[in-house]
Amino acid sequence: MTYHIKEEKNLNPVKLQSLFKHAPWAKDRTPEEIVQMLQHTHMVFSVWADEKLVGFARVLTDFTFRAMIYDVVIHPNHQRAGLGRLLLEKIIHHPKLTPIQVLSLFTRDKIDFYEKLGFQAASNHGLSGMLYIRPAPSHYC
């Protein structure tokens, strides 16, 4: 199977919604929300197996000091093929992002995977992650 990475924001929101069904944090996103998310995201990376969307990640950044990586997901049928590594390496080494000192992300369960790519726990650097979480809209309950 041939895989390739695209860097474009005009993804079909229904295809992305189908991929998000495999990510617990994103499984309830609607196509309308996905369209809005893509419009307000600085960089979008997608992984394709021929014409099928099988991976995704996005970046919010100031292009100077910080970048935040969100929504890293690889379809379960395509995991263990090195696609997550390929996708993250594409982001880490992207010419627009290489001047940035700190790339950050949140993860619940893939800590070992990200550590192998060079990510470290923020607490190792005297930092603590802080979140402000609004109550979920009723359609997420």
Catalytic machinery residues: 114
The answer to whether 105 touches 69, Cβ cutoff 8 Å, is yes
Q: Rounded to an integer, what distance in angstroms lies between the CA atom of residue 83 and that of residue 48? A: 10
Report residue 132 as tokens. 């402000």
What residues contact 9, with CB distance under 8 A and at least 6 apart?
Answer: 38, 39, 41, 44
The answer to whether 3 touches 81, Cβ cutoff 8 Å, is yes
Alpha helices in the chain (DSSP H): 13-20, 31-39, 83-92, 111-116
Q: Rounded to an integer, what distance in angstroms lies between the CA atom of residue 71 and that of residue 25? A: 8
Q: Rounded to an integer, what distance in angstroms lies between the CA atom of residue 58 and that of residue 19? A: 14
